[in-house]
Amino acid sequence: MSTRLTTCLLLALVIAGCRSRDVEKDLTITDVHTGWYDVGIVNGQNKLVPSISLKLKNVSPEGIARFQINAVFKRLDGENKEWDSHFVRGIGPDGLAPGAKGGELVLRSDRGYTGSEPRLQMLQNKAFIDAKVEVFGKHGSNLWVKLGEFKIDRQLLAE
């Protein structure tokens, strides 16, 4: 086999392995839990931030690797503006086999609410504004795709 043909075959294999995937068809979000994470005391005040934990399931007939997630947190104040976001690698280079479910991913906002009152009372305060999180995914050179939207439950999370 000629060197040129071998090089072409290797290049074709590399390109095929690097193709971008349709994440909205290949992955589903499962095991979703939302709430307000207790960060602890910050500058002498209790701090709560919106949090989501989830798992990814590969519903395609092929393995998938190197998948990114971006969680965009928004307050439900009628403005629909981004409050904060959290970016993570959802699936690493080892990949996720067909039908397999990945480990738990936890995404939290750095922004939240602070107050001097006890944490549970903070959640019940009449000035408290609820939040939601929009979860986006991306594989390869494809654009970000919205995979789900979840209201942040008014529950206190310790972990």
Average pLDDT over residues 19-38: 91
Give pLDDT, residue 16.
38
| Cβ proximity of 57 and 28 under 8 Å | yes
Q: What is the pTM of this model?
A: 0.85
Tens digit of each residue's pLDDT (9 = 90 or more) over 132-147: 999 999 998 899 999 9
pLDDT tens digits along 3-23: 554 443 333 333 334 567 888
pLDDT interval class at 42 (50, 70, 90): very high
What's the rounded mean pLDDT across residues 38-55?
Answer: 96
Fill in the DSSP letter of residue 144: P
CB neighbours (10 Å) of residue 7?
10
